[in-house]
Amino acid sequence: MSHECTEPHDRRLVVLTGGPGAGKTALLELVRQSFCAHVRVLPEAAGIVFGGGFPRSPVEGVARAGQRAIFHIQRELEAAAAADDVAIVLCDRGTVDGSAYWPGAGDLWAAVGTTKARELERYDAVIHLRTPTLDGGYNHDNPLRIESAVEAALIDEKIAEAWTGHPRRHFVPAERDFLAKARRALALLRDELPECCRRHVVPALDGARYLQRP
């Protein structure tokens, strides 16, 4: 959505993360409907890589190649978004997520020539949606999701560990009522917006009027 704000914005890089089945895809669609054009939602780098036909295999060499590819695509997606006048670049996962998926010995950081500390510093805030349990709503609606509920929970914990040390990390717990979970996450994202953009939020959820608080 557009609005009359024409002042340049100080860009903030915000990550939306969480284990498989946490609800990122649905929440990102609500973000697109709820916030102004100065909030840029990036596609998931892993979806681009694996959805485009990159081999996906438990073989360590193949899996490592996939994580290196995801890292570099994520970096370039962020660079492309930064070229425009946007207030928030919302990343569907960040570069740090890849370390939770790195298989075997060594780590992602040495493989791509950076450090965890350097990557953490690149992001202004992290919103972590927790993965639900099997009886709490976990499903395989996403065709690229291959993990069981148990595997998804383990990955969620690894992602939480990967982002340890970030000073502005927010956890949104799993709930049976996804709309309640979404409202919490939308409120957190709204708090990252500059004042000019907060005034133009249009809630996408019934009962979410508090998102327009002054």
For the chain, give the number of residues: 214
DSSP SS3 for 40:
strand
How many structural domains does the chain have? 1
User: Domain for residue 101, yes or no?
Assistant: yes
Strand bridging mode 88-92 / 12-18 = parallel
Give whole-number Cα distances, 8 to 21, 84, 194, 197, in Å. Answer: 36, 10, 11, 12
Whole-angstrom distance, CA of residue 74 vs CA of residue 113: 15
Please give the order of strands across the beta sheet that includes 125-129.
39-41, 88-92, 12-18, 125-129, 169-172
- Condensed to tens digits (0 to 9), the pLDDT of residues 124-154 reads 999 999 988 755 455 555 555 556 778 888 9
Mean pLDDT to the nearest integer, 187-207: 74
User: Domain for residue 1, yes or no?
Assistant: no
Whole-angstrom distance, CA of residue 41 vs CA of residue 43: 7
- Condensed to tens digits (0 to 9), the pLDDT of residues 35-91 reads 888 899 999 999 999 999 999 999 999 999 999 999 999 999 999 998 888 899 999
Mean pLDDT to the nearest integer, 160-183: 93
Structure tokens given for 145: 């999701």
The pLDDT assigned to 208 comes to: 47
Task: Tell whether the model's pLDDT for residue 159 goes beyond 90.
Answer: yes
Q: Any residues with CB less than 8 A from the CB of 202 and at least 6 apart, and which?
A: 1, 33, 34, 35
CATH of the domain at 151: 3.40.50.300
User: Domain for residue 3, yes or no?
Assistant: no
User: Domain for residue 5, yes or no?
Assistant: no
Structure tokens given for 11: 């860009």
Structure tokens given for 211: 């998102």
Give percent of the chain above pLDDT 70: 82
Q: Which domain holds residue 77?
A: 12-206
User: Domain for residue 21, yes or no?
Assistant: yes
User: Domain for residue 4, yes or no?
Assistant: no
The pLDDT assigned to 176 comes to: 84
User: In which band, very low, low, confident or very high, does the pLDDT at 13 lie, cut at 50, 70 and 90?
Assistant: very high
Helix axes 178-190, 24-34, angle to 10 degrees: 50
User: Domain for residue 161, yes or no?
Assistant: yes
User: Domain for residue 73, yes or no?
Assistant: yes
> Which pTM was predicted?
0.86
Mean pLDDT to the nearest integer, 186-194: 91
- Condensed to tens digits (0 to 9), the pLDDT of residues 167-177 reads 999 999 988 88
The pLDDT assigned to 149 comes to: 73
